[in-house]
Chains A and B, each alone.
Chain A
Amino acid sequence: MAKSVQAAGKVAANVALAGIGIAFLVPLLWVLTTSVAQGQTLKVEWPKHLTGANFAHVTTVDILFRPLLNGLVLCGGGTLITVVVAILAAYPLSRYRSRLKRPFLLTILFTTGLPITAIMIPVYAMFTQLNLIDQMWSATVFMGSTALPFGIWLMKNFMDSVPVELEEVAWTDGASSMATLRRIVLPLMWPGVIVVTIFTFIGMWGNFFVPFILLIDPNQLPASVSIFTFFDPQHGGVQYGQLAAFSIFYCIPVAVLYLVMSRKLSGSFALGGALKG
């Protein structure tokens, strides 16, 4: 009796989950069918004539490769800044006691969700006044800084899970705290570093607003902004087929990063320890 109830529960769970899966799949289908279709359609339907023309049209330096490279420079650089600075900042926060620690961490937690849209106007004014507008490096540093609160907070929680006893041995041997960080703590928390890297990069790669405001020269725009050119009415209406093909290329770096790095996380996404608050 109880067994059959349990079995029925399992079937119901599978059915419900399958339904949710389909709901998540349907919107994604459009990009696949449209990218190989002739003509411009917004419908999900299997194209009557398959064509590679959309892919051929977008694989040029101006349309695809330069924006992707700009994005890699901008987001790769920004992620590097976030991860390195967050590791450094997490160490004292995780290892030492201080009266300032709790207020600092609470501020960080609040800043984590700070609506970046809200501060972009003063940032724009500041960048214009200091002549930092339309410069790749300043936009990169800004992207890195905005991701810092979340990075520091996650990194600190991952670092907390590395037992401090291991370092104490090294300290008695006269190793400096930076040396123990590099040789003992970091090797033990690679999964944490990987999670922070993925989160940071994905967030930046999809970020449209910040580069949209801070960069002007079309040659410097990352793919998240240049994708708007497919909607330019000057090019004769929206080129949905090309947009779809471009979107597929655009998603590849993120998908590759996610696949490569999540493999190293030994199956489960090691998020639990870091998100308890």
Chain B
Amino acid sequence: MTASATAERTPAAPETSGAARGTMRGRTIVRGLPLLPAVVLLLIFLAGPIIYCIYYAFTDMQLTGATTTNFVGLANFRKAFGDDQFYNAILQTLIFTVLSAIVGQNLLGLAIALLFRLATKVLRSIVGALVIAAWVVPEIVAGYLMYAFFRDEGSLNEILKFLHLPQQNWLYTLPILAVSLANVWRGTAFSMLVYSAALAEVPAELTEAAAMDGAGVWQRFWHVTLPTIRRSVATNLMLITLQTLSVFGLIFAMTKGGPSNKSTTLPIYTYQTALQNYEIGYGTAMALVLLVIGALFSLVYLRALRPEAD
């Protein structure tokens, strides 16, 4: 086209222009200028704190009194890895993340998106609105709603009684299950939106062709649909995993980590250590472990994204 032909000659031409690329260094800087506000904000408010986080983790910093801060090497990490509460927090975090994000939100979101393609339009809009309503409700309100739902005299036990099923004090006996289900209730909307959009882009000819070849519903899903939406699955898993790892308000409102630390995830334990017991150094060491867990999950998902990643 003439448009791209003329673009070759203009200095501000984009990546389609081979001739203009890699020449003046000054122009690269001018082109990158709009990035500056973002880079400055990210450096100050995210990179800075992360570096501080790494530094504090090797000190005995405390918030109480005017005691001096000393470099203590790996002492905080040694303390953490000798601390049963810390292992418990990691375990609870992993249970919470796998149950509520990787299994719960991910599969339920996918299931809803798949059901949407078969269900009637009215039902689709109503259920879509309800799922999104749960997501729009702010974290702390969701926490109280869920507290009211799971508590001893809550709605769940009323329903179970009505159905003649055994009831129990969910927040006391299985708090981590209760907060995980609460997080599924609250967070599924995101996966639902992602998968609805992804499924809409699966070419109908592909599934139809597979059906012609005699592929059943499951085979079509497994061999045609799933490979097509693979990148959406990986992106979605990465985003919801990282969001779930850092959930604080929901758990804090429902159980405060209790009873007897049975729902104390790493963010809750970090908060207790650093901001209630004022052991900043020890708290940040644990926060760093949380960052590393997030990074490990990300690496797995990024591998899945890699072949055609931008």
Contacts and interface: CB of A to CB of B under 8 A. Distances in A.
B185 interface: yes
A202 B45 contact: no
Contacts of B108: 20
B155 A113 contact: no
Contacts of A27: 134, 145-146, 148-149, 155, 185
Interface stretch (A46-54, A55-63, A119-127, A186-194): A119-127
Residue picked from B15, B141, B271, B283, most chain A C-beta under 10 Å: B141
Contacts of A164: 14, 16
| Chain B contact residues, majority secondary structure | helix
Interface in A16-55: 16-18, 20-21, 23-31, 34, 42-44
Contacts of B10: 168, 171-172
A136 interface: no
12 contacts: A20-B127, A28-B130, A28-B145, A121-B287, A125-B56, A206-B138, A208-B252, A251-B138, A255-B136, A269-B193, A273-B197, A275-B235
A236 to B, nearest CB: 18
A218 interface: no
Closest 4 CB pairs of A and B: A113-B242, A115-B246, A272-B197, A206-B138
A206 B159 CA distance: 29
B31 A92 contact: yes
Nearest to B33: A92
Contacts of B15: 95-97
B139 A122 contact: no
Contacts of A64: none
Given A125-B56, A277-B235, A271 B38 contact: no
B249 A209 contact: yes
Contacts of A269: 193, 196-197
Given A44-B158, A251-B137, A145 B46 contact: yes
B90 interface: no
A119 B132 contact: no
Given A26-B149, A102-B310, A269-B197, A122 B53 contact: yes
B50 interface: yes
A98 B28 contact: yes
Interface string B143-159: 01111110101110011
Contact of A144 (B33, B41, B131, B197): B41
Interface in B270-296: 270-271, 274-275, 280, 283-284, 287-288, 290-291, 294-295
B118 interface: yes
A199 to B, nearest CB: 9
Contacts of B73: none
B136 A254 contact: yes
A14 interface: yes
Interface of A: 9-10, 13-14, 16-18, 20-21, 23-31, 34, 42-44, 81, 85-86, 88-89, 91-93, 95-98, 102, 105-106, 109-119, 121-126, 141-142, 144-146, 148-149, 152, 164-165, 167-169, 171-172, 176-178, 202, 205-209, 213, 223-224, 227-228, 240, 243, 247, 250-251, 254-255, 258, 268-273, 275-277
Residue picked from B9, B112, B148, most chain A C-beta under 10 Å: B148
A129 to B, nearest CB: 10
Interface of B: 1, 3-4, 6-7, 9-10, 12-16, 21, 28, 31-35, 37-39, 41-42, 44-46, 48-50, 52-53, 56, 61, 108, 111-112, 115-116, 118-120, 123-124, 126-127, 130-142, 144-149, 151, 153-155, 158-159, 185, 193-194, 196-198, 200-201, 217, 231-232, 234-236, 238-239, 241-243, 245-246, 248-249, 252, 267, 270-271, 274-275, 280, 283-284, 287-288, 290-291, 294-295, 298, 302, 305, 309-310
A223 B137 CA distance: 13
B284 A122 contact: yes
Residue picked from B33, B56, B140, B302, most chain A C-beta under 10 Å: B140
Contacts of A14: 118-120, 123
A165 B4 contact: yes
Residue picked from B7, B111, B137, B232, most chain A C-beta under 10 Å: B137
Contact of A277 (B120, B126, B159, B234): B234
B238 A115 contact: no
